[in-house]
Chains A and B, each alone.
Chain A
């Protein structure tokens, strides 16, 4: 399968702690995107990181990309109960024609 694989599958932390989710992919990419899905809602785009970028920030979110290891990570700092959701990575492979969504990491932030 060409989808990204998120790790861990599920993560439970206390409010205020940092949450780190990892994604591994198969071959060279054009870009990699992270999405969030709250229960009963559609996916929401968080960050897009291009293959020539190593790190991007957006508010409390930090995404890193290591193309040599074919991996990416999403860090949420100072987590809040409202961050409880599923998080998906979606690599777009070089020469590909569609974004492939992984199975997601379910994050639960306890108040």
Chain B
């Protein structure tokens, strides 16, 4: 089975532009997580979904960030407008059945905002 698939792998854009990151979780997984990783702050949980429903978005830094999961096989993380401090690697992960089970990570999107 294919793992978690994220696109694009790299994104470079100018400040103020809208950025959309995409994720396809592993088929059959019930939970989907969005993380952000930086040298300064480490790995931060932004939001997670259970059966396509957002459960906890307390990690979303600002209203400029939004996430959706329209169906079980697709999720997006959108930043509008983007700022240089949003530069980071964004990971999507999914897990099966329970929130405390192992998470399977994609290889991330490296985002650079100029």
Contact = CB atoms under 8 A, between A and B. Distances in A.
Interface in B69-106: 91, 93, 99-106
Interface stretch (B14-22, B40-48, B60-68): B40-48
Contacts, number: 44
Contact of A30 (B91, B100, B102, B107): B100
B42 A48 contact: no
Interface residues of A, number: 21
B25 interface: no
A97 B47 CA distance: 12
Given A42-B91, A42-B105, A42-B108, A98 B43 contact: no
Nearest to B6: A42
Contact of A92 (B4, B43, B55, B100): B100
Given A43-B91, A104-B42, A98 B48 contact: yes
Contacts of A99: 99-100, 103
- Tell me the dominant secondary structure on chain A's binding face: loop
Given A41-B107, A42-B91, A88-B43, A97 B102 contact: no
Contacts of A33: 102
A71 interface: no
Contacts of A10: none
Interface of B: 4, 42-43, 45, 48, 55-56, 91, 93, 99-108
Interface of A: 3, 30-31, 33, 40-45, 48, 88, 92, 96-99, 101-104
5 contacts: A30-B100, A42-B4, A43-B91, A43-B93, A45-B102
